[in-house]
């Protein structure tokens, strides 16, 4: 592994961190620094939608406030598979996402999702951006 690949890995990992912070903090415009304008995003395994990035961004801003503002992603192992020429990479990141939601009786309960974020990142003039995201759910709790 050379220095350029280490830099690419760090920049992609930073983009994944920006993604989780944007979702957790409800700063959905920050997602513009994560995805290409034509990105394809699939949240169907967790009950969400599949569509182009602008549609999914609008959906996130409507759907996620149904959960409390206390969302907290944890991202674990990140695996990289760079294509020839290193301008594209298949990236898989483990995630754990606990969220609080109304329990319907005036309180809250915690729901959790664990799985894999499967991205296709591409090098752009603005840095590495995800052109494709599939959220693969491995387990849930509390739903």
Please provide the CATH number assigned to the domain covering 3-141. 3.10.450.50
What pLDDT score was predicted for residue 143?
A: 78
Q: How confident is the model at residue 69 (pLDDT cuts 50, 70, 90)?
A: low
CA 45/CA 32 separation, integer angstroms: 23
In tens, the pLDDT along 103-143 reads 889 888 888 999 999 999 999 999 999 999 999 999 999 87
State the alpha helices, DSSP H only, in 26-143.
53-63
CA distance 126 to 132: 17
> Is the pLDDT assigned to residue 101 strictly greater than 90?
no
Residue 56 and residue 35 in contact, taking contact as beta carbons nearer than 8 Å: no
Q: Token digits for 48?
A: 């969400």
Domain boundaries along the sequence of the chain:
3-141
Instruction: Write down the pTM of the prediction.
Output: 0.92
Residue 64: which pLDDT band, with cuts at 50, 70 and 90? confident
Q: Please, is 106 exposed, middle or buried when counting C-beta atoms within 10 Å of its C-beta (0-12, 13-18, 19+)?
A: exposed
Exposure letters 57-94 (e unless 16+ CB within 10 A, then b): bebbeeebeebeeebebebeeeebebeeeeebbebebe
């Amino acid at each position: 592994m050379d220095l350029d690949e280490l830099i690419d890995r760090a920049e992609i990992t930073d983009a994944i961190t920006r993604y989780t912070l944007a979702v957790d903090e409800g700063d959905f415009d920050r997602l513009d620094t994560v995805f290409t304008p034509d990105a394809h995003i699939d949240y169907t395994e967790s009950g969400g939608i599949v569509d182009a990035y602008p549609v999914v961004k609008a959906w996130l801003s409507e759907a996620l406030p149904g959960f409390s503002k206390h969302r907290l992603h944890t991202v674990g192992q990140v695996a990289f598979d760079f294509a020839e020429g290193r301008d594209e990479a298949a990236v898989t990141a483990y995630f754990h996402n606990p969220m609080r939601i109304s329990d319907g009786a005036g309180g809250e309960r915690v729901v959790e999702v664990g799985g894999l974020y499967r991205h296709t990142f591409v090098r752009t003039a603005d840095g590495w951006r995800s052109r494709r995201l599939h959220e693969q759910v491995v387990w849930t709790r509390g739903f």
